[in-house]
Structure 1
């Protein structure tokens, strides 16, 4: 077994555990912000795995897909932030 194989297995295990924990946080919640952060973490993990795969195999074929995933993550985060801000503003006006 080469050192590269050991490193690939280690990377796979670390990302699998992190993805499982992020999915658990997305399911359990309890708030929408917890779920949003967990989905951002999961998207970031997908980006890291794709980047690691590109480095290991010495290619740039996945770069356009990585850019689209990053854009989706940014737009999703902005949408959740706007939703939460609008909801907080509405609940603040009711309390007055």
Structure 2
């Protein structure tokens, strides 16, 4: 019985060499099934249309003078926050202007 099983194992090994498949006598998980599958990415890119937005067109053609309404609203909101004193702090131009050095003194 063992001679038969050893011959079958040798036959399987030879088969794997000839047909270029992986020899896995212990039936371990290798992930080969997923590696053989076609990738989904290119198919998904073909399926979903390319999104065209105003900002991209405005960057591409600056002489047209297009205005992105979302960007204009964002800039207006930032300006409003600055007027109310809620904006981002000013960046230090030199070491003396830094808040860190002011705290150490």
Q: TM exceeds 0.5?
A: no
Q: Which has the higher contact order (CA 8 A, sep 6+)?
A: 1
**Bigger Rg over Cα:** 2
TM-score (norm 2): 0.27
Question: TM-score if structure 1 supplies the norm length?
Answer: 0.29
Q: Select the structure that is richer in helix.
A: 1
